[in-house]
Amino acid sequence: MTPNHAQPRIRFATLTAAALGMATLSLGMAVAPSRTADPATITLDPVHSVALFRIQHLEAGLFWGRFNALEGTVKWTMEPTAAPTFDISAKIANADTGSEKLDGNLQGPNFFNAKEFPTITFKSTGATAAGDRHWMVKGDLTLHGVTKPVEVDCVATGIGTGPAGTKVGFECNLTLKRSDFGMKWGIEKPAKALGDEVKLIIALEGDAVGGTAQ
Amino acid sequence: MNYLVSVVLLPILVGSGVASAALLGPLRQRAAIIECCVAYGLAIAFLISFVREVDLPALLRQLPVELKDDDAPFERWHQLGLVALLLAIVSPTLALLTAALPAQRKAIVITATLLAACGVAALVTFPGASNGSRTLFAVVCALSSGAIAMCGLRTALGALAVSCFGMAVCAVMTGFPSLAIMCVAVAGTAGSIALVACWRRSPRMHSVAGAISVVSGTLVGTVAACGEAYASGNLPNWTWNALAVGVPVAGALLYRTTTSSTPS
């Protein structure tokens, strides 16, 4: 009777191969970078994307106006901790104060000088988390032909479903000095006709396309 | 300093002060001195108003000068200040040249008028500038200078005051208060000098063809081109050029009519 050693050998070889395979696989998993979700591209919906601005008039009332129909894109994975990146622009021609005459003044050379500097742009360069879906976004703001770094307080206000797919909303707050951007008329000359500090509230909504974390 | 004092009254005082010194001073019989000081007074009034309104760096930014901590943008309408500076430099030279070469006065004035008109049209670039708009710019400057050259001193200054005041109103209507302020300063200066000239007539000053016509015509032509380039609202663009050319032409016609009907 011949002892049957072949079967245990096969079992041993199979087990060894399986163990080595498992070890390789687990090693590979440990070494490979953890996979992150691809960001969705959120194209702004001009109807629901506006920037409100507030400035003090004659040291008295706080005057509000808006830039309608903001354009641009936001890239975001839609994960609460991952910061979005912004590339947004507003046309000076879309300034709306509720007064045609004031709109014309704002577009004139004493303020935005729309003939030479027709757009305001913001491009984010980085962000730090400030809470759940809340970030302090750093970026370059180009206004009146001057580009300066600014920090914007941004919150993702919600993710919903619209007729065209996923809708994402953000609200961003920013306060700046217009004199930093070369817009000085009315601050000292004529004295205190208009304030230097401008508060901006930017409401963004867009349709998300792509991404892997939806 | 109060804003209006700084941007309107100060330029008027300096501009009319320089001109009045010539009109009332011991050299008032010398036409070249009056021509030089009146032309210089008009240009310097505009320049002071510009610098007080916009700040000196806006002017220096256009010159080969190193500015520290200056990150404000260059805006094309700031070239108005550069034009006023060039006119302030050119006006005494032109007045002295025409006085030194009386036989060639007409040729010098015509050449200076055309050079100034073509020069600013080529040098100054406002938004939306094209070959057509530059040609119109040069033609308006030349026509305005030519019409002012056909006036007497008081009529020329009166026409300049009315033209600049009209353009100031247009600037207010089209959302350009800085241009309005500068126009009011020149209008006030021209009006003040005209009043001084009425009070103390200078018998030698029969014609303003020369530095005064070149400075006045080039200045109103440049302001008109600037106003037209930046205007917003419903004001027709031709209004600016109509004020720049129409008022001096009306002044010249008025002057020619009244002087030809007045027995000498």
pLDDT number for residue A18: 58
Mutation target to probe the A interface, by most A beta carbons within 10 A, among B51, B230, B235 is B230
Q: What percent of chain B has pLDDT over 90?
A: 74
Whether residue B206 has pLDDT greater than 70:
no
DSSP string, A53-114: EEEEBTTS-EEEEEE-S-EEEEEE---TTSPPEEEEEEEGGGEE-S-HHHHHHHHSTTTT-T
Rounded average pLDDT over B98-121: 94
**A145 touching B (Cβ < 8 Å):** yes
Chain A closest-CA separation from residue B57 CA (Å): 11
Report CA Rg, chain B: 17
Closest residue in A to B51 (Cα–Cα): A189
Give the gyration radius of chain A's Cα atoms: 27
Section B2-8 average pLDDT: 92
Whether chain B has a CB inside 8 Å of the CB on A192: the answer is no
pLDDT value for A32: 44
Distance from CA of B117 to the nearest CA of A (A): 24
ipTM attached to this prediction: 0.85
Read off the pLDDT of residues A85-100 as tens digits, 9 standing for 90 and up: 999 999 999 999 999 8
Cα separation, B59 vs B80, in Å, equals 9
The answer to whether the CB atoms of A107 and B233 lie below 8 A apart is no
Of B71, B76, B174, the CB nearest to A104: B174
Name the band, by pLDDT with cuts 50, 70 and 90, for residue B29: confident
Q: Which of A100, A109, A146 sits opposite B71 (nearest CB)?
A: A146
Please provide the average confidence, as pLDDT, over all residues in chain A. 86
Q: How sure is the predictor about A174, in pLDDT bands with cuts at 50, 70 and 90? A: very high
Q: What is the pLDDT of residues B128-176, one digit of tens each?
A: 999 999 999 999 999 999 999 999 899 999 999 999 999 999 999 999 9
Q: Which pLDDT score, from 0 to 100, does residue A35 have?
A: 47
* Count of beta carbons in the 10 Å neighbourhood of residue B97: 18
Q: What is the pLDDT of residue A1?
A: 41
| pLDDT of A14 higher than 70 | no
- B73/A146 Cβ within 8 A: yes
Partner residue opposite A190 with nearest CB, options B3, B77, B127: B3
